A and B are shown apart, each in its own frame.
Chain A
Amino acid sequence: MAAALPLVLLVLLLLGPVGRGHAEPPRDSLREELVITPLPSGDVAATFQFRTRWDSELQREEGTDHNFLRYAVLPREVVCTENLTPWKKLLPCSSKAGLSVLLKADRLFHTSYHSQAVHIRPVCRNARCTSVSWELRQTLSVVFDAFVTGQGKKDWSLFRMFSRTLTEPCPLASESRVYVDITGYNQDNETLEVTPPPTTTYQDVILGARKTYAVYDLLDTAVINNSRNLNLQLKWKSPPESEAPPVPFLHAQRYVSGYGLQNGKLNTLLYNTHPHRAFPVLLLDTVPWHLRLYVHTLTITSKGKDNKPSYVHYQPAQDRLQPHLLEMLIQLPANSATKVSIQFERALLKWTEYTPDPNHGFYVSPSVISALVPSTVAAKPVDWEESPLFKSLYPVSDSSSYFVRLYTEPLLVNLPTPDFSMPYNVICLTCTVVAVCYGSFYNLLTRTFHIEEPSTGGLAKRLANLIRRARGVPPL
């Protein structure tokens, strides 16, 4: 069972031209939605999205000054309820009404995957973008292992997952919906049953595949009023075959190789599983300064051949000031694995710069892979304001591709760590050596030496003489 993946808390402040919505968005609006995707393995993925938007006085200036663009990563953060509480405070309805009622910390952190994010960005209010609104988007994705926690049953309900049910919509929300992914399970089919039966369904192309969702609108009084609460349930009528889930067209992996504590190698594997389309990806790497990268060792190979990147931007690190920044555009051939590797040397830190547990290792932030992945099904362009929020997680640029941003796993690299008691040992040892030298020197200089009169002989001599006499040889 996979351990809970580290939380990636990202604050993206994109000051570029964003949001092509031509319709005037309303003031201070809140939209919330929950997407539940039952997986054939029995796991259930739940994604919350809350979008708050408000008008601002800020006037958008022409262009973006890249001097003010910042990118920062905290490679690892131990996730706990402390991360959830301030996040929940940003929600207008806190956790009192609407979908946020389900955000119960003890359940959300007992999951096999937890990802929580805050995005804030300006959105143009009109076509010429003379005035902007701010958009605060909060997302939370968790994967429940319903199979293990439910004694081998793959059925689930809102109450079993969150130990709460939905009772009322948030009065401030202009839209409050729950989507359940029922793709591939025909409604009159015998495989799966969702209760209460959905009033409407929604069909769209998500991540290049056609999907069908059952929609429950909390603002629709009929959804909740029947029984004062909404407890969505899903029952598998005939257990689905545990087939391998489809492999995404783009996925990536990262690891450190090498031995010893001097040199090492960072490797990133990029997989394009599309059967016949090649596409470019943008790979962004930030490596802390204590790994000294050798850029001349940067090698990119696809299918055993050298793959020359069409663009490389490298900003070298400065000790204790700024990390390495390596950005490149790589063309991934169809149905291939591309390996990007670069060698590094481990630097020695200052005595006080080591973390309290230096032998645990130092984290290296994940690489970020951005790509326009070709889609197999043509998607039609959509109006952003009308379509569900989760749709804009994977924006479609044109009908034939969709945008994906992937984060690889963070790495743990061991740095050469000194013995921290060394200064004391050195002092003690030096002192001892000095004392020993000093002792003999002192003895040599202060002792008085005088010639010893030869004595009459000791026991050995007498013994020798006794033997000599016995042999008839003159004594000594």
Chain B
Amino acid sequence: MAAPGAAATDLEVVRGKRAALFFAAVAIVLGLPLWWKTTETYRAPLPYSEISGLNALQLRLMVPVTVVFTRESVPSDDQEKLPFTVVHEREIPLKYKMKIKCRFQKAYRRALDHEEEALSLGSMQEAETMLAEPQEQAEGSLTVYVIPEHSSLLPQDMMSYIGPERTAVVRGIMHREAFNIVGRRVIQVAQAMSLTEDVLAAALADHLPEDKWSSDKRRPLKSSLGYEITFSLLNPDPKSHDVHWDIEGAVRRYVQPFLSALSAAGNFSVDSQILYYAVLGVNPRFDPASSSYYLAAHSLPHVINPVESRLGSSAASLYPVLNFLLYVPELAHSPLYIQDKDGAPVATNAFHSPRWGGIMVYNVDPKAYNASKLPVRVEVDMEQVMEVFLAQLRLLFGIAQPQLPVKCLFPGPKSEGLTTWELDRLLWARSVENLATATTTLTSLAQLLGKISNIVIKDDVASEVYRAVAAVQKAAEELASGHLASAFTASQEAVTSSERAFFDPSLLHLLYFPDDQKFAIYIPLFLPMAVPILLSLVKIFLETRKSWKKPEKID
């Protein structure tokens, strides 16, 4: 009776053990992964390694320079060696994680017949018009013509000439080392016309450490897809001044040509307004010597804020707004002059604030007051005003005055106020800035997503990230192969995609759903399930160890 009973009990015990093991196995093999899978936040895969690779990206900016030698410009045995290509590469020393290298690829060739003909003409203008006709030059490229040493195309004391288009002229030399000497001159000219350290430093001003390029460096407007330009006429004293300005005509005549030349860099919209009773934030000081009022240089920063609240144009636009204010001072405070740091009046009577816009003070002709009673009708001389505003607009876009090499002739830009190579230079700078911005955005996004594991990454966010990374790489490649226009487009796309990914609202959803709360919810399930399983596992483990020890003792 006892033996079969004990055997049956043993059988039961073994079955119980198996059941417990089976439970543990199911819970671990099936339950845990199932729970993990169903409660997981959806995170589309992101190219993390590629994003971190972007930081170490080597930017190689290639400027294709075509150097055309006319007859008699270099010794004839040197002429025989043409055509060939010389590469001049140089690292731009910036404290920036991206290594930027500037590479001038000089393709030397002999002049074609029509070029010879053009360069043998009497004046530079004629030569230029004739050279410009046959082919359109690609963005970012340069053509340098080497003319005979004693050519009369340039004044005798001038060594080189920089044109408003993408062409330049340097004098050749009859010398043993002709190619080297000419090559150095060409590089000088090419650097003046395209990339310089200053341009790139200004473009990367936001990404560089403060100490090196301090804030007194003129920071150009941030790169954007579009810009809004607002011209405002401030008339604080409508009782004394009845001010009229022909802003529509002035914009058509002066601003539109400049903006259409600049249209490759973004979309522009222009509007204007007249504000009455809008005063500057600073009370002008009276200067008894000249019986005029002045605004000191140190008080200029306080001028803008009170006016800004009345402008109200930034509310309606996604793009950065540039404000140009024409201020007609009150009768009680006129004439009003702006003083520079040394206390001398500024000739233009205007100042600008980087990334914000410019202000010009327009004094009413004092003779007007004698003739008639108040209010005096004032017609604004728009040419004088627009001259200042256009110069400020150039500065705000970071188009600085070119630094010319010595003995160089530069006739200045054409009527639209912008040379073609200045635009190219802006595009170079903007492309590099866009790349830097996109890289920073992508890096911070990757960091953020890596740090907070609760954020859902949707497929469309991931695809924007992929697109941005691809666009950055494409832009870098295009820059390296010297295709400026497509590089700029790609860099814009990179910025747009990266920002769209970064600011996607879906990233915010689960940000505040911490882990401890999640586990607090699951405790009622986990605790009662885990305790018996663990206890029985421990028991089984102890028993098996005991049963292993027993046979050893017998032995």
Residues of B within 8 A of A11 (CB): none
B8 and A450: CB pair below 8 A?
A: yes
The smallest C-beta distance from A103 to any residue of chain B, in angstroms, reads 13
Interface-side segment among A191-199, A433-441, A468-476 = A433-441
A86 close to chain B: CB less than 8 A: yes
Indicate if the CB atoms of B521 and A428 lie closer than 8 Å. Answer: yes
Evaluate contact between B529 and A172: CB separation under 8 angstroms.
no
At the interface, yes or no: B93 with Cβ under 8 Å from chain A?
Answer: no
With a 10 A CB-CB cut-off, give which of B239, B524, B527, B532 has the most chain A CB atoms. Answer: B524
Q: Provide the bound-state CA to CA distance between A466 and B293, in Å.
A: 126
- Nearest residue, chain B, Cβ from A445: B19
Asked if residues B277 and A424 are in contact (CB atoms below 8 Å), the reply is no
B12 touches A450 (CB 8 A): yes
Query: Chain B interface: which of A93-101, A116-124, A323-331, A404-412?
Result: A93-101
- Contact pattern, B 251-289, Cβ under 8 Å of A = 1, otherwise 0: 000000000000000000000000011100000000000
Q: Which B residue sits closest to A450, measured CB to CB?
A: B9
Instruction: Indicate if the CB atoms of A435 and B525 lie closer than 8 Å.
Output: yes
Q: Whose C-beta in chain B lies nearest to the C-beta of A430?
A: B525
A94 touching B525, Cβ below 8 Å: no
Answer yes or no: B45 CB below 8 A from chain A CBs.
no
Alpha-carbon gap, A31 to B375, bound state (A): 19
Q: Say whether B528 contacts A427, CB under 8 Å.
A: no
**Is residue B542 contacting chain A, with contact meaning CB distance below 8 A?**
no
Instruction: Tell me if A446 counts as interface (CB < 8 A to partner B).
Output: yes
Are A448 and B525 in contact, with the CB atoms below 8 A? no
User: Which of A86, A424, A438, A447 is in CB contact (< 8 Å) with B16?
Assistant: A447
Residue of B15, B276, B375, B529 near A93 (CB, 8 A) is B276
| Chain B at the A interface: SS class | helix
Contact status B5-A450, CB under 8 Å: yes
Do A442 and B16 touch (CB < 8 A)?
Answer: no
- Once the chains bind, are B521 and A446 in contact (CB under 8 Å)? no
Known A435-B529, A439-B532; judge A448-B13 contact (CB<8 A).
yes
What's the tally of chain A residues with a CB closer than 8 Å to chain B? 30
Q: Which of these, A93, A430, A438, contacts B528 with CB under 8 Å? A: A438
Asked if B20 CB lies within 8 Å of chain A CBs, one says: yes
Cβ A446 vs Cβ B20 within 8 A: yes
CB of A446, distance to nearest CB on chain B (Å): 5
| Residues of chain B contacted by A97 (CB below 8 angstroms) | 239, 277
> Does B551 reach chain A (CB closer than 8 Å)?
no
Q: Which of B490-522 contact A (CB under 8 A)?
A: 521-522
How many angstroms from the CA of A430 to the CA of B310 in the assembled complex?
Answer: 60
B-contacting residues, A75-131, CB 8 Å: 86, 89, 92-94, 96-97
Q: Which residues of A contact B523 (CB under 8 A)?
A: 431
Query: What is the bound-complex CA distance between A93 and B238, given in angstroms?
Result: 9
Q: Quick check: A435 and B524 within 8 Å, CB to CB?
A: yes
The answer to whether A427 and B521 touch across the interface, beta carbons within 8 angstroms, is: yes
Among A89, A428, A445, point to the contact of B524 (Cβ < 8 A): A428
Contact of B276 with A94 in the complex, beta carbons under 8 Å: yes
Label chain A's interface by main secondary structure.
helix
With A96-B277, A435-B524, A438-B529 known as contacts, the answer to whether A448 contacts B16 (CB < 8 A) is: yes
B481 contacts A by Cβ under 8 Å: no
The answer, among A96, A171, A431, A434, for a CB contact under 8 Å with B375, is A171
Asked if A3 is an interface residue, CB under 8 A from chain B, the answer is no
CB-based contact A89/B528 at 8 Å: no
Whole-angstrom distance between the alpha carbons of A448 and B524 in the complex?
A: 27
Write the chain B residue with the least CB distance to A453: B5
Measured between alpha carbons, how far is A91 from B232 in the docked complex, in Å? 16
Alpha-carbon distance between A94 and B15 when the two chains are bound, in angstroms: 91
Q: Is the CB of A463 closer than 8 A to any CB of chain B?
A: no
Which residues of chain A are within 8 angstroms of B528 by Cβ–Cβ distance? 435-436, 438-439
Bound CA–CA A428/B523 (angstroms) = 8
B79 at the interface (CB under 8 A from A): no
Would you give the shortest CB distance from B237 to chain A, in whole angstroms?
A: 9
CA distance A448 to B15 in the complex (A): 8
**A residues less than 8 Å from B522 (CB atoms):** 427, 431
Chain A residue numbers with a CB within 8 Å of B5 are: 450-451
Given A171-B239, A436-B528, do A86 and B312 touch, yes or no (CB 8 Å)?
yes
* Residue B536 at the chain A interface, CB threshold 8 Å: yes
Docked Cα-Cα span, A447 to B12, in Å, equals: 8
CB within 8 Å of B: which A392-445 residues = 424, 427-428, 430-432, 434-436, 438-439, 442-443, 445
A442 to B19, CA, bound (A): 8
The reply on A71 being an interface residue by CB < 8 A is no
Q: Chain A 169-201, CB within 8 Å of chain B: the 1/0 string? A: 001100000000000000000000000000000
**With an 8 A cutoff between CB atoms, is B23 at the interface?**
yes
Smallest CB separation, B41 vs chain A (Å): 16
A94:B23 contact, CB within 8 angstroms: no
Residue of A nearest to B277 (CB): A96
A246 to B8 CA separation, bound complex (whole angstroms): 103
Q: Kindly list chain A residues whose C-beta atoms are within 8 Å of the C-beta of B9.
A: 448, 450
Given A93-B276, A93-B277, A445-B19, are A431 and B525 also a contact pair (CB < 8 Å)?
yes
**What residues of chain B lie closer than 8 Å to A93, measured between beta carbons?**
238, 276-277
CA gap between A434 and B12 in the complex, in Å = 26
Residues of B within 8 A of A68 (CB): none
Chain A residues, Cβ within 8 Å of B20: 446
* Residue of B9, B277, B532 with highest tally of chain A CB at under 10 A: B277
Q: Provide the residues of chain A in CB contact with B527, threshold 8 Å.
A: 435
**Distance from A140 Cβ to chain B, minimum over Cβ atoms (Å):** 19
Q: Which residue of A lies closest to B374 (CB)?
A: A171
**Among the interface residues A96, A434, A448, which one has the most CB atoms of the partner chain B within 10 A?**
A448
Cα distance A96–B330 when bound, in Å? 14
> A351 at the A/B interface (Cβ < 8 Å)?
no
A449 in contact (CB, < 8 A):
yes
A165 to B338, CA, bound (A): 37
Asked if A172 and B19 sit within 8 Å, CB to CB, the answer is: no
Cβ–Cβ < 8 Å partners of B310 in chain A: 89, 94
State A450–B9 Cα separation when bound (angstroms): 6
Which residues in A have their C-beta under 8 angstroms from that of B529?
Answer: 435, 438
A434–B19 contact, CB under 8 A?
Answer: no
Given contacts A94-B310, A435-B524, A446-B532, could you give 18 more A-B pairs where the C-beta distance is less than 8 Å? A89-B312, A93-B238, A94-B277, A168-B239, A171-B239, A171-B375, A172-B276, A424-B521, A428-B524, A431-B524, A432-B524, A432-B525, A435-B527, A438-B529, A445-B16, A450-B8, A450-B9, A450-B12
Provide a sorted-by-A list of 20 A–B residue pairs whose CB atoms are within 8 angstroms.
A86-B312, A92-B276, A93-B276, A93-B277, A96-B277, A97-B277, A171-B375, A172-B276, A424-B521, A431-B524, A431-B525, A435-B527, A439-B528, A443-B532, A445-B19, A445-B23, A446-B23, A447-B16, A448-B13, A451-B5
Closest 8 CB pairs of A and B: A431-B525, A435-B528, A96-B277, A448-B12, A431-B524, A445-B19, A171-B238, A432-B524
